[in-house]
Structure 1
Amino acid sequence: MSLRLEVDAPHPGATAGSGPPPRHRHADRPVRARLNRFDLKVSPYLYIAPFFILFAIFGAYPLGYTLWVSLHDWDLLAEDHPFVGLENYQRLLGDPDFWNSVVNTLGIFVISTVPQLLLALWLAHLLNRGLRARTLFRMGVLIPNITSTAAVAIVFGQLFSREFGMINWLLDLVGVDGIDWKGSKLTAWIAVSTMVDWRWTGYNALIFLAAMQAIPRDLYEAAALDGARQARQFWSITVPMLRPTIIFCVIVSTIGGLQLFTEPLLFNSGTNPIRGGPMRESQTMTMYMFENAFAPHFNFGYGSAIAWMLFALIAIVAIINVLVIRGLGKNQTGGE
């Protein structure tokens, strides 16, 4: 006679001395899975939402409202603002002072931006080499950018002074007569462009330097083994690899260069500053916009139309610059 004992097999998830697993653990799994999916899908949008909210309030809404104002005869001193449609834009097309400001803006932009970016690229190339006290030089090129714009404009206004300016004094040493830098368009453009270049070249140089340091050193070593000199390496490796950074700097410089206001304003202090000199020699579009939107005209509608024409000009010039740089990059690399 044999005695048989039957013992129930333990639950696979149970441990010694533990009872049956609680059922609520299995019930929580679908809830947690839904929360995880919700977190993965929604949380990224919550993280970036503050930027878009602030942009909508302080960027998109003012931009749209300015377009609405440009379609009205919006006198700040009047209670009524009648709708005039495209009349302000039609008036702009026949305004010689507006076209003068466009010419001044483009002239200063070309004279300042092209040398600025080329000089910044050259400085970045020098700072990327094995120089002594590299950190000191890298900090030094950024000092002009952190200097107050008003201080820079006042100093350069004295340097380019007709009677007692250092620039005319240096020109006199080599037999060149003193120049009235505020007396003609070209000389005023050169003076303002020099001020802009001095202030922003170091900033762009540091951006180029950061991009250069990300280029793999293997490319330069392979080119050196093939017999390529440093100049050839620069134009065949560095410049093509910097194309995205160059496009970024060109766009930023285009936006800043076409919005010049403080430099030409303070440069002409004492001689109708908001008009850019007695004959509007260096009046930019932003200065002309300010003149019409505020004192002495107080015409917000006309000033808003100028602002939108400036926006269109910036967009057109930026697109042209990007297309030109991409074309040059394709020529350097033999096409894509």
Structure 2
Amino acid sequence: MFYKRKMKYRSEETKDKISAYLYISPFFIIFAIIGLYPAIFSIYLAFQKWNGLGDMNFVGLQNFHTVLHDPTFWKALYNTIVMGLMGTAPQIIFGIILAFILNQAFLKFKNMFRAMIFLPYITSMVAVALVFGVFFSSNDTALANYTLQFFGMDTVAWKTSEWGAKIAISIMVFWRWIGYNTIIYLAGLQGIPKELYEAAKIDGANIIQQLRYITMPLLKPFIVLTVFFSTVGALQLFTEPTVFLGAQAFSRTEAMTVVMYLYRDAFSLQSFGTGSATAVILLLIIVVASAINTYLSSGIGKRERGINHEYTWKKAL
């Protein structure tokens, strides 16, 4: 009798486990089809010569050799790193400052300002490209060139010059993603006890000291998260330069990124082998860069840890 009850219990437990796995199985099935399989197939293609239609020919490491000895690839990698730094690094700094301001009790119309800052993130890229295309037009009457002339500087051919294209695209990236980082930091700030700031004010700490000795150390997990996402996003930069440059995106190298180089090889030149090899190389670069940035950002606030008995801002007073 006891054995039958035990078997029945185990049977019900097994059914519950099977039901749970069935409920979550659609996600894993879809992920395997549209995520895992393309990634594995791309690694396989990196060692093949294939134009997308004919037979595949195994070429070993020849695709990697071709990519690594192509000056255009190194130019694209240089562009990616430069535009990534110019477009994403300021997001972290200004994102923390904006979040700190939006979290102040004296600020009125907080919800309106938060919506305005987050609005670029949900704006259509077509609309963004049209606006920035007009703003950074090469005409002398364009707003960017008109502003330069107003301050006595020469006009810039934004879409064809070496640094003009990089600056314009970096500003577009910064404008579009600053709100995303600000909202993440704002969520982190709202989790910091207000008593810490009140005690700091009583001890005579100013806003800069509060930001340095309270906000930054306690925002460390959010900073590490945004640094990781920003690093990955910067190295995968594709949409902004492609939409901004339009028809010239894949024919010029002033602002070509690694993903654009990959796309050109695979879908314009029908060289899926070198395109896949570029994807594998980019994956390795992303892993290394993300690890380095995460390690560096994880050191924020180490000296200001442990706000329990003696507050860290007192060290600055």
**Counterpart in the other structure of 1:193:** 170
Query: Residue 136 and residue 35 in structure 1: after superposition, are their counterparts in 2 closer, same or farther (change >3 A)?
Result: farther
1:171-320 mapped onto 2 (5 Å cutoff): 171-270=148-247, 272-275=248-251, 277=252, 280-295=253-268, 297-320=269-292
Question: Which string of whole-angstrom CA distances, capped at 9 and with x for unpartnered residues, describes residues 261-319 of structure 1?
Answer: 1211122224x2223x3xx1000011111111012x11111111111111111111111
Q: Which amino acid aligns with 1:312?
A: L
Cα distance, 1:154 vs structure 2 = 2.1
**Counterpart in the other structure of 1:34:** 10
Cα distance, 1:141 vs structure 2 = 1.1
Cα distance, 1:257 vs structure 2 = 1.5
Question: Which string of whole-angstrom CA distances, capped at 9 and with x for unpartnered residues, describes residues 25-69 of structure 1?
Answer: x89854664356547766665554443333222212111110001
2:38 to 62, 68, 88: 62
Greater mean deviation of Cα atoms: 27-36 or 229-238: 27-36
**Counterpart in the other structure of 1:87:** 62
Q: Which amino acid aligns with 1:105?
A: T
| Secondary structure of 1:75's aligned partner | coil
Structure 1 residue 126 corresponds to structure 2 residue 101: yes
Query: Residue 171 and residue 100 in structure 1: after superposition, are their counterparts in 2 closer, same or farther (change >3 A)?
Result: same
Comparing both structures, which one devotes a greater share of its residues to helix? 2
- Distance (whole Å) between structure 1 residues aligned to residue 286 and residue 261 of structure 2: 16
Aligned residues of 1:150 and 1:262 also touching (Cα < 8 A)? no
Aligned length: 304
Question: TM-score when scaled to structure 2?
Answer: 0.88
Query: Residue 89 and residue 332 in structure 1: after superposition, are their counterparts in 2 closer, same or farther (change >3 A)?
Result: farther
Query: Residue 218 and residue 43 in structure 1: after superposition, are their counterparts in 2 closer, same or farther (change >3 A)?
Result: farther
- Distance (whole Å) between structure 2 residues aligned to residue 220 and residue 248 of structure 1: 24
Structure 1 residue 75 corresponds to structure 2 residue 51: yes
- Distance (whole Å) between structure 2 residues aligned to residue 284 and residue 35 of structure 1: 56
Query: Residue 223 and residue 32 in structure 1: after superposition, are their counterparts in 2 closer, same or farther (change >3 A)?
Result: farther
Cα distance, 1:230 vs structure 2 = 2.1
Q: Which amino acid aligns with 1:304?
A: S
**Counterpart in the other structure of 1:324:** 296
Cα distance, 1:111 vs structure 2 = 0.5
Question: Which string of whole-angstrom CA distances, capped at 9 and with x for unpartnered residues, describes residues 311-334 of structure 1?
Answer: 111111111110001123324438
Greater mean deviation of Cα atoms: 163-172 or 179-188: 179-188
Aligned residues of 2:220 and 2:300 also touching (Cα < 8 A)? no
Question: TM-score when scaled to structure 1?
Answer: 0.84
- Distance (whole Å) between structure 2 residues aligned to residue 179 and residue 133 of structure 1: 38
| Secondary structure of 1:58's aligned partner | helix
Question: Which string of whole-angstrom CA distances, capped at 9 and with x for unpartnered residues, describes residues 206-254 of structure 1?
Answer: 1110111011222222322332222211111111111111111111112
**Counterpart in the other structure of 2:92:** 117
| Secondary structure of 1:304's aligned partner | helix
Unpaired segments ≥5 residues, structure 2 = 307-317
- Distance (whole Å) between structure 1 residues aligned to residue 63 and residue 99 of structure 2: 45
RMSD: 2.2
Percent identity between the two aligned chains: 42
Query: Residue 37 and residue 266 in structure 1: after superposition, are their counterparts in 2 closer, same or farther (change >3 A)?
Result: closer
- Distance (whole Å) between structure 2 residues aligned to residue 319 and residue 48 of structure 1: 31
**Counterpart in the other structure of 2:314:** none
| Secondary structure of 2:49's aligned partner | coil
Query: Residue 47 and residue 225 in structure 1: after superposition, are their counterparts in 2 closer, same or farther (change >3 A)?
Result: farther
- Distance (whole Å) between structure 2 residues aligned to residue 36 and residue 237 of structure 1: 52
1:98 to 63, 66, 73: 73
Aligned residues of 2:132 and 2:172 also touching (Cα < 8 A)? yes
Aligned residues of 1:236 and 1:333 also touching (Cα < 8 A)? no
| Secondary structure of 1:268's aligned partner | helix
Aligned residues of 1:142 and 1:203 also touching (Cα < 8 A)? yes
- Distance (whole Å) between structure 2 residues aligned to residue 84 and residue 105 of structure 1: 28
**Counterpart in the other structure of 2:311:** none
- Distance (whole Å) between structure 1 residues aligned to residue 41 and residue 246 of structure 2: 32
Instruction: Give the structure with higher Rg (CA).
Output: 1
